Structure 1
Amino acid sequence: MFGSIINYLSSLLIPIVCFPLHNYAVSINETVSDSIPPSGWGLGVYNDLVDQIQAAQSIWPMANPGPSTQMAIKNVLNFSPANEMPQKVVSERKWESDSVAMEEVSWSVGYGPRTYAWVLKPVGVSGKLPAILALHDHGGYKFYGKEKIADAFGDLPDALVIHRREYYGGLAMANHLAKKGFLVLIHDTFLWGSRKFPLNNIPEQLIIESLALKKAPEQSAIGIAEYNTIAVEHENLVEKSCRMMGINLAGIIAYEDRVATHYLVSRPDVDSTRIGCIGFSGGGTRSAFLLATCPQVKAAAVVSMMSTYRGMLQSGHNGTWMCFPTGLSRIADYADVAASRAPQPLLVQYNTGDELFTAQGMEAAHQRISQHYRATGNEKAYRGQFYQGPHKFDREMQEAAIKWFKEVFAIK
């Protein structure tokens, strides 16, 4: 009887197997192309999904600055396993170079490898200095962290030279800040530099698939570029793992940036009333979330990383998970995060040709942040600067940011 059932089911499958599959494929393609809406959200045939979501629930509501919004943002980030103080701090070594006094320090955040960081300040300057956390970018470049924006010792690998030339006008941004009178801290964060995943901790199949996508050499020949390719794909797995634990990547990074801030506060050569943060691209996201969640930060600069979520969705922005903590869109827009501590001083630098965002999304963010600051009665505490060109933090923008920090912290 069982054999009869199998034969019967097999007879039903024959017409399907004999179906002219090439004609069927053509009809699918024709149907898909005919149904793509003329404009929308970067979701192709699913552009109408956004309309359904907006009809069913509130997304990107206007979240006014203040303690309740700050707490809501911190709850979304949902990660603070300890007291946010660095553990087992060690001063590794000190040296001087090109008018900058440098110190390498390390600490534990309570899990994973030790965090390594560099402290830079002008040579021969004593007393308490205004301090800035210089937050390295994402850039799809995880082999290094702090080295992308600071010079310490040794020659730079060619890949870092190219990275700086493309995005930073060839400058070591952190050293440039130190020469202007600031104490600057640059630390590696989760997934980068001293905090990166060792290659042997990444699933072999993911490595094989990542290298195949790039047509890279065999695993035995993996170098910096190949590691970066693998690490970008690995970030998706890390975010999945975070969500299984009820947390998110953005929350881990914001926590580690707060730990670094508390290290700065603990230093006797830091004026704890004048601590700021600055970051380009993914570092700009870090800067926005750090300002929102850390009262010790008194001013922040967000560079080439500002748009409304609406603008990001319309642009098809496919950036880092750092920018998209689960649940944020139900309580606020990304622009509201940056403005959540208004009227604390905030600088946002936009590039009109930034390939990550639409011009409308950047302008909408600028207007939204301006509205928040107007509502606090201190509109001038926010400064939005628009520059020509692509995704970058070039020399002109860096000089403008330094000038702004000097004004905010009353440095001559």
Structure 2
Amino acid sequence: MNKPKDNLYTEAPSVGNRYREKQKREFDELIMSRRQAAEEKRLSFFRLDTTSVPAFEKDASQMREAVRSMLGWPLDMDGETGSCSVSASPPAANVSYISEDALGRIYRVEVEAGFGLTTYGILFIPKKAGPHPLVISQHGGWGTPELCSGFYGDSNYNDMTRRVLKRGIAVFAPQLLLWNPDAYGPEYHRHQYDKQLKHVGSSMAAVEIYKIQRAIDYLISRPDVDHSKVGMIGLSYGGFYTMFTAALDTRIKAAYSSCFINNRFVADWPDFTWFNAGNRFLDAEICALIAPRYLHLEVGKRDETFLYEHAQPEIDKVASLYKQLNLSDRFSAKAFDGGHELDPSDEGIDFFCQSLFAI
């Protein structure tokens, strides 16, 4: 014991470290234990009748309401439908012609989403006469509609937007609050916005899904768009929004999610995390709510952002669900030899686009 001149006890800072180490270890073990228990809770909670497609859809409809409630306002507004529209009429939009090239006409569009929000994006209309199927082409982190549409040359999107456009499908590429501020716009603080929204019963995901849905409300009102043939494709964060938007909005008949699906107890980023989600809905459960519609999932075997080894078990769960429904022909999956990018080969794109035309 040390006795300074005032006779008060002192000690080296390291003396209490073993107690603090034990405190940390207890939290690590607690979280591991709760996550293990969550696996059983999720299996118990997420029970959908797979004896027939109508029975499944009835249960899935109830689960969608629970997901909307989890994500928060404005998805959980009273009187919601699959479109999440705030009115029966389509929203107004400001449409500006950009150019026409070998594939068709290009426009910048701002849709009035309500609540002081707009949805900005690039709209591509094929040259041939419509109405055309429609695909939402969703960029990922550090991205823009222009980037995922090839305006700046090559990128890890591997010509995502125009590969769909080349197949005679209208494409709308919306902007999310995800751009690289060093290259494409002002600085912003996405995770701070997400925390602030969660304080008031909302989330970034809820608001941005709502904005995508309001864009769909406008787009399917256009005479050059076939409202019955809507799909969505996205890479990374775009794959996240594709999964969740398609799960909640049954107007989306085909979905292509690239380089996102994973074990969310591993890839647990703040804006992919909601209260009690681990006990009810992780990635495989969200994807299950896309059934009986068409779904393509893919992961790069060399993806360093969302690791293949954690993605494949979730993909297998979704494949099993489609098999139980006797709908294996509506599900496609691939682990391709690539990194964090859209698969450069055409297998997924072909399945996705052919599915839209087959509806």
TM-score interval, normalised by the smaller of the two chains: 0.7 to 0.9
Counterpart contact for 2:240–2:260, Cα < 8 Å:
yes
Counterpart contact for 2:73–2:207, Cα < 8 Å:
yes
Once residues 185 and 296 of structure 1 are traced to their aligned partners in structure 2, the CA distance between those partners, rounded to angstroms, is 15
Question: Could you tell me how far 1:148 is from its partner in structure 2?
Answer: 2.0
Counterpart contact for 2:248–2:289, Cα < 8 Å:
no
Corresponding residue number in structure 2 for 1:28: 17
Counterpart contact for 1:250–1:325, Cα < 8 Å:
no
**CA displacement 1:244-287 (0-9 Å, x = unmatched):** 10111211111111112212211111111111000000000100
Match of 1:236 among 171, 191, 207: 191
| Unmatched tracts of structure 2, length 5 or more | 49-55, 78-83
Question: Could you tell me how far 1:75 is from its partner in structure 2?
Answer: 2.0
Question: Could you tell me how far 1:406 is from its partner in structure 2?
Answer: 3.1
> Are residue 150 (structure 1) and residue 144 (structure 2) matched?
no
Question: Could you tell me how far 1:395 is from its partner in structure 2?
Answer: 2.0
From the CA coordinates, give the structure whose radius of gyration is larger: 1
Once residues 299 and 379 of structure 1 are traced to their aligned partners in structure 2, the CA distance between those partners, rounded to angstroms, is 14
Question: Could you tell me how far 1:344 is from its partner in structure 2?
Answer: 0.6
Give 1:364's aligned amino acid: P
> Are residue 327 (structure 1) and residue 276 (structure 2) matched?
yes
> Are residue 71 (structure 1) and residue 71 (structure 2) matched?
no
Question: Could you tell me how far 1:235 is from its partner in structure 2?
Answer: 2.0
Q: Percent identity?
A: 19
Counterpart contact for 1:79–1:247, Cα < 8 Å:
yes
1:10-409 matches, cutoff 5 A: 11=6, 14-16=8-10, 19-21=11-13, 24=14, 28=17, 32=21, 46-52=28-34, 54-55=36-37, 59-61=41-43, 62-64=46-48, 66-80=60-74, 83-84=85-86, 87-112=91-116, 114-123=118-127, 125-137=128-140, 139=141, 141=142, 145-151=144-150, 156=152, 164-165=154-155, 167-169=156-158, 171=159, 173-189=160-176, 191-192=177-178, 224=182, 231=188, 234-309=189-264, 313=265, 315=266, 317-319=267-269, 321=271, 323-396=272-345, 399-409=346-356
SS in 2 for 1:109: strand
Counterpart contact for 2:122–2:146, Cα < 8 Å:
no
Question: Could you tell me how far 1:54 is from its partner in structure 2?
Answer: 4.3
In angstroms, what is the RMSD of aligned CA positions?
3.2
Counterpart contact for 2:119–2:215, Cα < 8 Å:
no
Question: Could you tell me how far 1:112 is from its partner in structure 2?
Answer: 4.3
SS in 2 for 1:95: strand
Give 2:223's aligned amino acid: P
| Unmatched tracts of structure 1, length 5 or more | 1-9, 38-43, 197-222
Counterpart contact for 1:63–1:333, Cα < 8 Å:
no
Give 2:113's aligned amino acid: V
- In the alignment of these two chains, the number of paired residues is 332
Larger CA deviation: 62-71 vs 346-355: 62-71
SS in 2 for 1:130: strand
**CA displacement 1:158-213 (0-9 Å, x = unmatched):** xxx5xx53x224x3x21232122110011123x246xx9xxxxxxxxxxxxxxxxx
Counterpart contact for 1:84–1:262, Cα < 8 Å:
no
Q: Kindly indicate which of the two structures has a greater share of residues assigned to helix.
A: 1
Question: Could you tell me how far 1:407 is from its partner in structure 2?
Answer: 2.2
Question: Could you tell me how far 1:76 is from its partner in structure 2?
Answer: 1.5
